[in-house]
Amino acid sequence: VGLASYALVGFWYTDRKKDFVGTEGHRAGGIAMWASPSHAGAKAFIMTKAGDTMMLAGMFLIFAYSGTFGFKELLQNQGWAVQMAHQNLLVPAAILLFGGAIGKSAQFPLNEWLLEAMTGPASVSALIHAATMVKAGVFLVARIAPLFFALAAFGMTQFFEVVAWVGAITAFLLASQAIANPEIKKVLAYSTGSQIGYMMMAIGIAGLSTNFAEGYTAGFFQLISHAMFKAALFMGAGALLHVVGSRFMTDMGGMRKYMRKTYIFMFLAAISLAAAPLITLGFWSKDAIFAAVLGSGYVHSLPLFIMAFVVAIMTAFYTFRMIGMSFFGKKSPHLEELEKTGHHPHEVRPIVWVPFAILAVATIAIGVVGFAFGAQLQHIFADYLAKYFGITQQKQLQLLQNPATTTQLVKPHTETKLFLGLNPYAATASFGAFAIGGFLGYMFYIARKIDPQIISKNIVTRGIWKFLYNRWYLNSALYWGAVIGPVAIYRIIWRYFEFTVMEGISHAFEFSMASFSRVVKAGQTGITQTYLFVFGVGIMIIIMLLLL
């Protein structure tokens, strides 16, 4: 998978300037913030391999104690878990497994590769960076989560805490960065990592709840809905890039006049990403996550919920920003220049827009009955968990009664429902997040009632924007900490070893050989009598030895 990802990201035999991502010349913390396809492909390969290495370490650690990789065998015979728990290795092994998901699904701190993987074609991004490959990590966590929940008596709540908080932090980090980025595919990449963070948080909170199926279903629900609307958005972005010839939204503007179908279907997919209430699939999946967090009984659920709520606001904002900058406002100078050269903006052919139109319409069509879809999904997963993992309501309640469990982390699950099965607090948050983020995005970038340039006129907001645009300087820290720093240390060690150790050994050898040479040379007088004398003495010594 890593090799295939590398080949798809660095898809051309040479690095073409038009395929680079990032603004040329932009540097943060001394590190270039633009990347070629070959560099981005190598970065994706190396960073995901770091996660894969952790995953393999976790797998073989568990295998060393259990002698099997089978889920069924691991669940039936829990002696391996007892041994590992007694040696404090069970939770670390689970976290190592989660490391594979962190790498493959671009979660913090291995998230930086996904942003530069946008050098690949939009169709590739729609397939592997929205619906399939980056979801592999989520699927891995979803597969191992029921097994580890069944081992809750061995302190596995710590593992689920790590999963939930890594997801929440990733969602917040990447959503905040999407607000300040001018490239349409990178905005979608930030959004992808952020939405996957939601999925991880949902699965993590499932393991911290006495209603495991609720959070588990919410994570899968978000996975399904995100695959649909994000793939549609990536393909729509590809259509825009094809027509405009630029990845920057500042080079677009007013495109709804020329690409009416692309605009309509991208808008439908976008409001699902922004979680427009009641009519979009994205609303129901996000509301399910909010409800799972609020009702979990996890003692630190409030900070998690606040982070999820803020992320939802930012998601609605950057989504409307993306639509506004691409399809509304005046034509950009870039478009005017294209028209002067005879390249007039136009709608793409049906073979391009029909696929994402189907996905966009589906997000609304299913969204209209999203409450029933979500309820049926939870029923399916509840049966699956009970049948194959024995996770029933009674088994979940034992989590609080077992003294070996970290009981202070989890309280009894609470559930409050109103019309259409909505949790009133979660629904209020969902409506509120869309209203706040959507309103701000609309006022800044669609209605243009507020000039976005106002941000650059204030030193505080300008500083915040620069901080977000520079990706929290995390990419710079990654290069300094994992590449430049270690190479510099290696260079210092190498120079010391070469100029001090190796040259010292060389000089010592030279001195010893010279000294030995002088000793040997002392006997080389060049006088024949001396040689005959030494030869004669030697013969006498040999004869005496033979006579003895």
Q: What is the pLDDT of residues 41-75, one digit of tens each?
A: 888 888 999 999 999 999 999 999 999 999 888 88
Residue 133: the pLDDT is 82
- Whether the pLDDT of residue 413 is over 60: the answer is no
The whole domain housing 103 covers 2-469
Q: What is the pLDDT of residues 523-547, one digit of tens each?
A: 677 777 777 888 888 899 999 888 8
Query: Do 128 and 228 share a domain, yes or no?
Result: yes
Distance CA 196, CA 218 (A): 12
Residue 443 lies in a domain: yes
Could you tell me which residues are beta bridge partners of residue 28? 31
- Whether the pLDDT of residue 303 is over 70: the answer is yes
pLDDT tier for residue 272 given thresholds of 50, 70 and 90: very high
Residue 474 lies in a domain: no
- Whether the pLDDT of residue 240 is over 80: the answer is yes
Which tokens go with 483? Answer: 């590449």
Residue 420: the pLDDT is 62
pTM: 0.87
Residue 91 lies in a domain: yes
Q: What is the mean pLDDT of residues 293-313?
A: 91
Query: Do 433 and 498 share a domain, yes or no?
Result: no
Which residue, 413, 439, 469, sits at the end of a domain?
Answer: 469
Give the residue among 368, 411, 371, 197 at the shortest CA–CA distance from 287: 371
How many C-beta atoms surround the C-beta of residue 99 within 10 A?
Answer: 22
Query: Do 97 and 173 share a domain, yes or no?
Result: yes
Q: What is the mean pLDDT of residues 252-264?
A: 92
Residue 241 lies in a domain: yes
SS3 label, residue 208:
coil
For tokens 């969204």, what's the residue?
367
- Whether the pLDDT of residue 494 is over 70: the answer is yes
- Whether the pLDDT of residue 150 is over 90: the answer is no
The rounded percent of the chain whose pLDDT value lies above 70 is: 95
Which residue, 469, 497, 523, sits at the end of a domain?
Answer: 469
The rounded percent of the chain whose pLDDT value lies above 90 is: 44
Query: Do 160 and 263 share a domain, yes or no?
Result: yes
Residue 409: the pLDDT is 62
Which residue, 415, 443, 469, sits at the end of a domain?
Answer: 469
The DSSP code for 180 is T
Higher pLDDT, 165 or 344: 165
Q: What is the pLDDT of residues 212-225, one digit of tens each?
A: 888 999 999 999 99
Query: Do 453 and 483 share a domain, yes or no?
Result: no
Residue 120 lies in a domain: yes
Backbone angles phi, psi at 25, to 5 degrees: 90, -10
Query: Do 87 and 30 share a domain, yes or no?
Result: yes
Q: What is the mean pLDDT of residues 325-346?
A: 88
Query: Do 83 and 159 share a domain, yes or no?
Result: yes
SS3 label, residue 520:
helix
Distance CA 490, CA 199 (A): 40
For the chain, how big is the Rg over CA atoms in Å? 32
pLDDT tier for residue 276 given thresholds of 50, 70 and 90: very high
Which tokens go with 138? Answer: 């989520």
3-state secondary structure string, 216-258? HHHHHHHHHHHHHHHHHHHHHHHHHHHHHCCCEHHHCCCHHHC
The mean pLDDT of the chain is 87
- Whether the pLDDT of residue 2 is over 80: the answer is no
Cβ burial of 62 (10 Å; 0-12, 13-18, 19+) is: buried
Could you tell me which residues are beta bridge partners of residue 31? 28
Query: Do 159 and 56 share a domain, yes or no?
Result: yes
Which tokens go with 276? Answer: 């427009």
Query: Do 494 and 465 share a domain, yes or no?
Result: no
The answer to which of 14-23, 165-174, 284-293 has the lowest mean pLDDT is 14-23
Helix, strand, coil percent values for the chain (each to nearest 5)? 75, 0, 20
Which tokens go with 59? Answer: 């797998």
C-alpha dist (Å) from residue 393 to 145, 256, 289, 397? 16, 51, 20, 6
Region of 88 please: left (phi>0), alpha (psi -120 to 50) or beta.
left
- Whether the pLDDT of residue 184 is over 80: the answer is yes
Residue 128: the pLDDT is 76
Q: What is the mean pLDDT of residues 77-96?
A: 92
Which tokens go with 544? Answer: 């005496």
Residue 522 lies in a domain: yes
Query: Do 11 and 60 share a domain, yes or no?
Result: yes
Query: Do 486 and 356 share a domain, yes or no?
Result: no
SS3 label, residue 199:
helix
Residue 284 lies in a domain: yes
Query: Do 132 and 55 share a domain, yes or no?
Result: yes
Residue 498: the pLDDT is 80
Q: What is the pLDDT of residues 13-38, one digit of tens each?
A: 788 877 788 888 888 888 888 888 88
Residue 77 lies in a domain: yes
Distance CA 446, CA 323 (A): 8
Mean pLDDT comparison of 168-177, 295-304, 325-334, 404-413, highest-scoring range: 168-177
The tally of CA atoms less than 13 A away on the side-chain side of residue 55 is 20
Distance CA 407, CA 399 (A): 8
Number of domains forming the structure of the chain: 2
Residue 442: the pLDDT is 94
Q: What is the mean pLDDT of residues 75-82?
A: 88
Give the residue among 48, 69, 36 at the shortest CA–CA distance from 4: 48
Distance CA 499, CA 494 (A): 8
pLDDT tier for residue 236 given thresholds of 50, 70 and 90: very high
Q: What is the mean pLDDT of residues 195-207?
A: 94
pLDDT tier for residue 336 given thresholds of 50, 70 and 90: confident
Contact 192, 231 (CB under 8 A): no
